[in-house]
Amino acid sequence: MSVIYKNTMNSIGKFVPQKFQPLWNHPAGPQTIFFWAPAFKWGLVIAGLGDLQRPASQISISQSTALGMTGLIWTRYSLAITPKNWSLFSVNLFVALTALYQVSRGIMYQREQTTLTATASAKEK
């Protein structure tokens, strides 16, 4: 870790109230990447929530599946590492849930289209 970063964190730490010192000094606290990586990953959750407005015909099932599986894998991993990183756990759980919901929307849309096509074919005969 760079000397500048350490000195900056030490300077900021002097202004952190006493009741927040346990969080500040936690092994997965704001002084570490274990805090900032999950904080920025919430952007994926926000993007996933924004995609809920996207028409089901535009959903990439393979991309959403990959994102959902990655979320599940990292959700499990966040509990296997030391220190347990509950922030990483929660963000990956939400990534997985939003992505897998999109997968279900895409699959339901494809099934509806298959049914409509089959119905239209049956009416033509």
pLDDT digits (tens, 9 = 90+) for 59-96: 999 999 999 999 999 999 999 988 788 889 999 999 99
CB-CB contact of 105 with 55 (8 Å): no
Are both 119 and 107 inside the same structural domain?
yes
Q: For residue 110, which of 51, 52, 48, 62 has the smallest C-alpha distance?
A: 62
Q: pLDDT band for 10, please (50, 70, 90 cuts).
A: confident
Are both 42 and 88 inside the same structural domain?
yes
CB-CB contact of 27 with 34 (8 Å): yes
The secondary structure of residue 32, as a DSSP letter, is: S
- Domain extent for 18: 1-31
Q: pLDDT band for 5, please (50, 70, 90 cuts).
A: confident
Q: For residue 89, which of 37, 43, 14 has the smallest C-alpha distance?
A: 37
Are both 26 and 80 inside the same structural domain?
no
Q: Mention every residue, 6+ apart, whose C-beta is less than 8 A from residue 109.
A: 56, 57, 59
CA 102 to chain centre: 13
Tell me how many domains the chain contains: 2
Are both 37 and 48 inside the same structural domain?
yes
Rounded alpha-carbon distances, angstroms, from residue 43 to 19, 37, 50, 88, 104: 29, 11, 10, 13, 22
Tell which wins on pLDDT, 35 or 101.
101
Are both 12 and 67 inside the same structural domain?
no
Are both 91 and 120 inside the same structural domain?
yes
Give the global pTM: 0.77
CATH label of the domain that carries residue 92: 1.20.1280
Are both 25 and 36 inside the same structural domain?
no
Neighbours of 64 (CB within 10 A): 22
Instruction: Measure CA of the first residue to CA of the last residue in the chain; give whole Å.
Output: 72
Does residue 125 carry a pLDDT above 80?
no
